[in-house]
């Protein structure tokens, strides 16, 4: 007899489940919770309530059966190899990602990619409905699942639906390029509440509904009326954050402090250690940063071993052409810079194309005098917030692009426009040369901001906004 399907009051839907499969030396597999802010935030909101998470387990083919992990019910959604290529690498990462990041690289459009996106979104919606209890709260995440809200509403008008966008929402002129713009807006309007990183993102969404769907809008709400279903959908900013207390605790551990010291020693105890940490993504402005630093090296304003630059570029989306090309370009540039400016034992740029454990990331943040964050467009940029969190010693300086969501919160950063190479050079030099006392004052203020606005607060704000979203028929 099959057991009846358990149902839950809170259902999260995100492209990935928050677990990775691990295989031990005997070939036995188990699941390890992937560390990350989203999981921490969800743990905090799920405490004391029944929660389920619907998502892909990360490997193409059949999905494992649903299972419990650390108090959460995980419901894997299967994706075939073709779906990984078309829904995920194709439509999500080669169509939507460039459009939503101001077309830094051209977007690719394929009708069969969208067909896969639709099919996979439907599968997610069905899985959500299967595990959602009557009247449940459903929280859908990110650009991969924009059709899910309307699909869930269709199947389950009893549940309350929220969606949060981790990346920017583009200006209507760019969004309008999408041949499937109507389907996407209608998909999102299935939600009761839509959360964005910045006020401008929410406004872009509302404007798109007005201009492309001719829907009435007022302030931050869009009015939808469809066959007797009249509703208002609210779109507003709820900037994401990180687990301040958890990460700070990690940074304070004696092992982390010792490792930070060791990192500095292994680099010859430079006067200034500059650090970049990014997924290897064209949105992150790694090339612009290297160009600026290369010119500072050429002008002898910085030189190894006094100044050392470490760039961690975490491997990302390696099967998408634009990412392959980016890797070739960045590695060519690093090679050139090292050829011209390195000394024996003191490279101009230490480039690391690796992924590191959290402990090592915390030690790197603690070791770095200047963190350089120069995206051309970024929803938030958690790396900036992680850096200030780790600096319990109030040391360090943050160079931050004005095109990140974090710029709207971390007002005491050394701000730059990454397109203005001369400006980036000056900002880096200011971050190096500003006296320590002044930098400590700036760091203290940024730390206060992140401590007060941590990921737990973000999650409860989102759920609160969802709970208080306009009721149906409240036109």
**Residue 195, beta-bridge partner list:** 164, 236
Q: List b or e across 79-103, with b for residues whose CB sees 16 or more CB atoms inside 10 angstroms.
A: beeebbbbbbbbbbbbbbbbbbbee
Stretch that binds ligand GDG, among 183-191, 353-361, 447-455, 457-465 (CB under 6 A): 353-361
The binder of ligand GDG chosen from 66, 303, 314, 342 (CB under 6 A): 314
- Interface with ligand GDG, residue 240, by CB under 6 A: yes
- Interface with ligand GDG, residue 380, by CB under 6 A: yes
Handedness of CA 268, 273, 278, 281 (dihedral sign): negative
* Minimum CB–partner distance for residue 167 and ligand GDG (Å): 5
Q: Which candidate, 140, 144, 217, 204, places its Cα nearest to that of 168?
A: 204
Stretch that binds ligand GDG, among 130-138, 244-252, 262-270, 382-390 (CB under 6 A): 382-390
Q: Which is nearer to ligand GDG, 197 or 221 (CB)?
A: 197
- Interface with ligand GDG, residue 279, by CB under 6 A: yes
Stretch that binds ligand GDG, among 13-21, 294-302, 352-360, 424-432 (CB under 6 A): 352-360
The binder of ligand GDG chosen from 386, 397, 410, 453 (CB under 6 A): 386
Stretch that binds ligand GDG, among 340-348, 354-362, 387-395, 441-449 (CB under 6 A): 354-362
Stretch that binds ligand GDG, among 119-127, 212-220, 374-382, 408-416 (CB under 6 A): 374-382
What residue spans of 140-193 are helical by DSSP H?
148-155, 172-175, 181-188
375 φ, ψ (degrees, to nearest 5): -60, 150
- Interface with ligand GDG, residue 426, by CB under 6 A: no
Tokens of 377: 């467009």
What track of x and - describes contact with ligand GDG for positions 184 through 223 (by CB under 6 A)? ----------------------------------------
The binder of ligand GDG chosen from 54, 74, 235, 383 (CB under 6 A): 383
- Interface with ligand GDG, residue 457, by CB under 6 A: no
Q: How far apart are CA 423 and CA 325, in angstroms?
A: 27
- Interface with ligand GDG, residue 430, by CB under 6 A: no
- Interface with ligand GDG, residue 355, by CB under 6 A: yes
- Interface with ligand GDG, residue 166, by CB under 6 A: yes
Residues numbered 11-40 forming contacts with ligand GDG, rule: CB under 6 A = none
Tokens of 193: 């509440």
Q: How far apart are CA 399 and CA 384, in angstroms?
A: 9
* Minimum CB–partner distance for residue 64 and ligand GDG (Å): 24
The binder of ligand GDG chosen from 90, 347, 379, 396 (CB under 6 A): 379
- Interface with ligand GDG, residue 381, by CB under 6 A: yes
Stretch that binds ligand GDG, among 72-80, 356-364, 392-400, 450-458 (CB under 6 A): 356-364
Q: Which is nearer to ligand GDG, 93 or 221 (CB)?
A: 93
Q: Could you tell me if 263 and 367 are in contact, meaning their C-beta atoms sit under 8 angstroms apart?
A: yes
Q: How far apart are CA 81 and CA 64, in angstroms?
A: 16
Handedness of CA 63, 16, 170, 110 (dihedral sign): negative
Maximum Cα–Cα distance for the chain, whole Å? 76
From the number of C-beta atoms within 10 Å of its C-beta (0-12, 13-18, 19+), residue 147 rates as: buried
For 85-96, the DSSP string reads: IIIIIIIIIIII
Tokens of 61: 């083919």
* Minimum CB–partner distance for residue 359 and ligand GDG (Å): 9
- Interface with ligand GDG, residue 167, by CB under 6 A: yes
Q: Which candidate, 92, 86, 169, 159, places its Cα nearest to that of 125?
A: 159
Q: How far apart are CA 64 and CA 57, in angstroms?
A: 8
Tokens of 344: 């024996």
* Minimum CB–partner distance for residue 11 and ligand GDG (Å): 19
Which contiguous run of DSSP H or E holds residue 426? helix 421-433
Stretch that binds ligand GDG, among 54-62, 77-85, 337-345, 378-386 (CB under 6 A): 378-386
Terminal-residue alpha carbon distance, the chain: 47
Chain residues in the site for ligand GDG (CB under 6 A): 166-167, 240, 277, 279, 314, 355-358, 361, 378-383, 386
């Amino acid at each position: 007899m099959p057991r009846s399907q358990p149902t839950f009051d809170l259902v999260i839907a995100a492209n990935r489940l928050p677990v990775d499969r691990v295989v031990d030396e005997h070939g036995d597999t188990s699941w390890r919770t992937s560390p990350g802010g989203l999981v921490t935030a969800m743990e905090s909101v799920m405490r004391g309530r029944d929660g389920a998470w619907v998502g892909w387990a990360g490997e193409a083919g059949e999905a494992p059966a649903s299972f419990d992990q650390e108090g959460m019910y995980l419901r894997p959604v299967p994706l075939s190899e073709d779906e990984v290529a078309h829904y995920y690498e194709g439509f999500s990462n080669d169509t939507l990602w460039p459009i939503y990041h101001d077309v830094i690289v051209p977007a690719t459009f394929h009708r069969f990619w969208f067909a896969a996106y639709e099919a996979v979104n439907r599968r997610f919606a069905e899985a959500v409905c299967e595990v959602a209890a009557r009247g449940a709260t459903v929280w859908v995440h990110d650009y991969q699942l924009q059709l899910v809200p309307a699909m869930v509403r269709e199947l389950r008008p009893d549940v309350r639906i929220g969606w949060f966008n981790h990346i920017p929402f583009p200006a209507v002129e760019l969004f309008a390029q999408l041949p499937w713009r109507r389907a996407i807006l209608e998909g999102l309007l299935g939600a009761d509440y839509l959360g964005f990183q910045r006020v401008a993102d929410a406004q872009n969404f509302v404007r798109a509904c007005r201009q492309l769907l001719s829907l009435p809008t007022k302030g931050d709400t869009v009015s939808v009326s469809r066959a007797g279903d009249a509703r208002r959908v609210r779109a507003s900013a709820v900037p994401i954050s990180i687990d301040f207390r958890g990460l700070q605790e990690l940074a304070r551990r004696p092992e982390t402090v010792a490792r930070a010291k060791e990192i500095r020693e292994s680099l010859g105890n430079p006067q200034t250690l500059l650090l970049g940490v990014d997924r290897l993504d064209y949105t992150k402005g790694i090339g612009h940063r290297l160009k600026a630093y290369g010119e500072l090296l050429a002008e002898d304003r910085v030189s190894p071993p006094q100044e050392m630059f470490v760039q961690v570029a975490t491997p990302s989306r390696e099967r998408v052409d634009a990412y392959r090309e980016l890797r070739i370009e960045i590695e060519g540039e690093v090679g050139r810079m090292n050829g011209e400016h390195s000394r024996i034992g003191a490279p101009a740029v230490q480039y690391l194309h690796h992924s590191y454990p959290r402990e090592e990331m915390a030690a790197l943040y603690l070791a770095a005098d200047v963190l350089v964050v120069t995206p051309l467009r970024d929803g938030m940029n958690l790396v900036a917030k992680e850096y200030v969190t780790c600096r319990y010693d109030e040391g360090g300086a943050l160079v931050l692009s004005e095109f990140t969501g974090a710029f709207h919160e971390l007002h005491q950063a050394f701000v730059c426009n990454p397109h203005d190479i001369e400006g980036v050079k000056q900002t880096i030099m200011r971050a190096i040369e500003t006296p320590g006392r002044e930098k400590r004052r700036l760091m203290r203020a940024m730390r206060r901001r992140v401590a007060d606005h941590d990921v737990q607060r973000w999650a409860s704000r989102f759920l609160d906004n969802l709970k208080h979203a306009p009721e149906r028929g409240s036109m």
